[in-house]
Structure 1
Amino acid sequence: MEESVSRPRSRSNPNRSRILNAAVVCFAADPDASMDDVARAAGVVRRTVYAHFPNRDALVEGLAEDAGAALADAVDLAEPEAADIALAVGILRTWPVGDRYRVLLSFARKEVGEERIGELIAPMRTRTLDLVERGRGTGVFSSYLPAVVLVGMMEGLTMATLEQANLGLVQDSGETVALGVLVLAGVDPERAAHVVETAGQWLREYAGPA
């Protein structure tokens, strides 16, 4: 209980946020960036960095923790009733989180481990699985593959696009991933494009806390 109370308070610490923001930039530019590099980029002394993160592993875990919290917050919001639009809304809403923390998919993946990455995306995985099942129940999505396999393919598409962004090969705001995910779910490509457009409009007009 004590741990769950203290974490949100530590995440709201300005220095901690400044350090993590600097770490994202530093590690994206140089995966071997040191704690000193992060301190300089954050505009704080080394002692301040080590007060929050005693070593590099703790700093990387801090990034992972914040990424997981941001993703969970993005998932825990209102969504449209229609499963296809809701699926597209979720991708458009969570893409900025993945884009910000995509550095974790390159250098940090080995450091935090695949199991930890799986924990971070668990809220999105659960939500996507629920939407796929709901969409199949209403005939919006096809059932040519088991739902868990299909969701795994959707995750693979998203991760691959983030990796391409890491390499500077794509600059995507999520629409392409949303389109691909809908097509994987069995939505006609032309209709999928319309669904993504509708999802974007919904976000602009109606998105808010659940």
Structure 2
Amino acid sequence: MSSVEEPVPSPRKRANANRSRILDAAMRCFAGDPDASMGDVAKAAGVVRRTVYAHFPNRDALVEGLADEAGAALAASVEFPEPEDAAVALAAGVLRLGPVSDRYRVLLSFARKEVGEERISELIAPVRTHTYGVVERGRAAGVFSAYLPTVVLVGMMEGLTIATLEQANRGVVDDASGAMALGVLVLAGVAPDRASEVVGSARRWLQITA
């Protein structure tokens, strides 16, 4: 009776798995202690320090690795079909961003100082561009108000999103994505009562299209 041997992972696959494990561990460590060391990250990842340094030669490189991963996730979050109704589309975009924001919101508490505001702005650029387009579409359809230039309004939406995530970091907000969606809609000129209905429609749309 012959046994079937399990395939041995290639060195590249092992390296990629280690890198992902290290980044996951770094996110957890920095969430608990922004000053966590490379040794702390290695311990949390279940690898030796040498393995961490093989992928990230220093702390700056590790933080940049987290930023790169966050940027890729943010870009991917807007590469989906969207509802025809601009208000529902705006809310759905924020809700879809929720899991990404939840995973990477810790970057706001420590990495902004380390990677800089310009880098953070670069990371969220795909979301900013997408939001700009949705707001413009909604204004053309008469769904959103035009009391402010779109670029200013989108900037305010970003500020609200960041502020909400910081409150979530402190444990003040439970449903960060829901709060962000409501706030963004109200900023766009949707009445608060109507905004709650729109968020509900967006949640249902996301469930149907998942």
Taking structure 2 as the reference length, the TM-score comes to 0.91
Number of the residue aligned with 2:178: 175
For the residue of structure 1 that corresponds to 2:71, the secondary structure is helix
Number of the residue aligned with 1:72: 75
Tell me how far apart the structure 2 counterparts of residues 173 and 163 of structure 1 sit (CA, whole Å): 10
Number of the residue aligned with 2:9: none
Give the AA of the match of 2:160: L
Q: Which has the larger radius of gyration?
A: 2
Number of the residue aligned with 2:29: 26
Deviation at 1:112, TM superposition (A): 0.2
Confirm whether residue 193 of structure 1 aligns to residue 192 of structure 2: no
For the residue of structure 2 that corresponds to 1:143, the secondary structure is coil
Q: Is the 8 A contact 2:164 2:176 kept in 1?
A: no
Deviation at 1:198, TM superposition (A): 0.3
Q: Is the 8 A contact 1:96 1:173 kept in 2?
A: no
Number of the residue aligned with 2:38: 35
Tell me how far apart the structure 2 counterparts of residues 106 and 99 of structure 1 sit (CA, whole Å): 13
Give the AA of the match of 2:136: E
Residue by residue, what CA displacement relative to the aligned partner does 1:113-151 show, whole Å, maximum 9, x if unpaired? 000000000000000000110000000001000101100
Number of the residue aligned with 1:142: 145
Number of the residue aligned with 2:92: 89
Give the AA of the match of 1:141: F
Give the AA of the match of 1:61: E
Residue by residue, what CA displacement relative to the aligned partner does 1:21-48 show, whole Å, maximum 9, x if unpaired? 0000000100110000000000011111
Q: Is the 8 A contact 1:92 1:173 kept in 2?
A: no
Tell me how far apart the structure 1 counterparts of residues 148 and 173 of structure 2 sit (CA, whole Å): 29
Number of the residue aligned with 2:129: 126
Number of the residue aligned with 2:55: 52
Equivalent pairs counted in the alignment come to 198
Q: RMSD over aligned Cα, in angstroms?
A: 1.3
Deviation at 1:173, TM superposition (A): 4.3
For the residue of structure 2 that corresponds to 1:127, the secondary structure is helix
Tell me how far apart the structure 2 counterparts of residues 202 and 142 of structure 1 sit (CA, whole Å): 24
Q: Which runs of at least 4 in structure 1 moved beyond 4 Å after TM superposition?
A: none
Taking structure 1 as the reference length, the TM-score comes to 0.91
Tell me how far apart the structure 1 counterparts of residues 46 and 206 of structure 2 sit (CA, whole Å): 36
- Where does the alignment leave 5 or more consecutive residues of structure 2 unmatched? 1-11
For the residue of structure 2 that corresponds to 1:106, the secondary structure is helix
For the residue of structure 2 that corresponds to 1:125, the secondary structure is helix
Number of the residue aligned with 1:159: 162
Deviation at 1:71, TM superposition (A): 0.7
Give the AA of the match of 1:23: A
